[in-house]
Homo-oligomer: A and B are copies of this chain.
């Protein structure tokens, strides 16, 4: 049995403003480069107005509906106590809380154990484009 070891990295992702940006290929490529066959991948989005989700990777309409739902669930036109950073800031924090900033994905048989229709997405909740950082950690053999 190969000895357990770990690898970590911070990646940067540019977002176009509110969107689900797929990062599956970039993540999978980094994981493959570590040459492990079994292990655990962890992702942490290092922001409070952007988040991570595993979602449908086929129909683009699904992503639009997800963003629309978040828009209705935590709308901009509400009298938030925190409004110093623009009307899209507090909704972005709420949407981040609801969707989450960490993911844990097993690596089995040399590949991430994602289902056929699952993709990894960075969710940008602010209106303007941003550079976002995601910390990656892999432990395995």
Interface residues of A (CB under 8 A from B): 1, 4-6, 8, 10, 38-40, 42, 44, 46-48, 53-56, 59, 61-62, 64-66, 68-69, 73-74, 80-82, 84, 90, 93-94, 96-108, 113-115, 117-118, 133, 135-137, 139-141
Contacts and interface: CB of A to CB of B under 8 A. Distances in A.
Contact of A38 (B8, B82, B115): B8
Copies of this chain held together in the complex: 3
Nearest to A82: B61
B101 A98 contact: no
A53 B97 CA distance: 7
A93 B62 contact: yes
A115 B133 contact: yes
A4 to B, nearest CB: 5
Contact of A4 (B5, B47, B82): B5
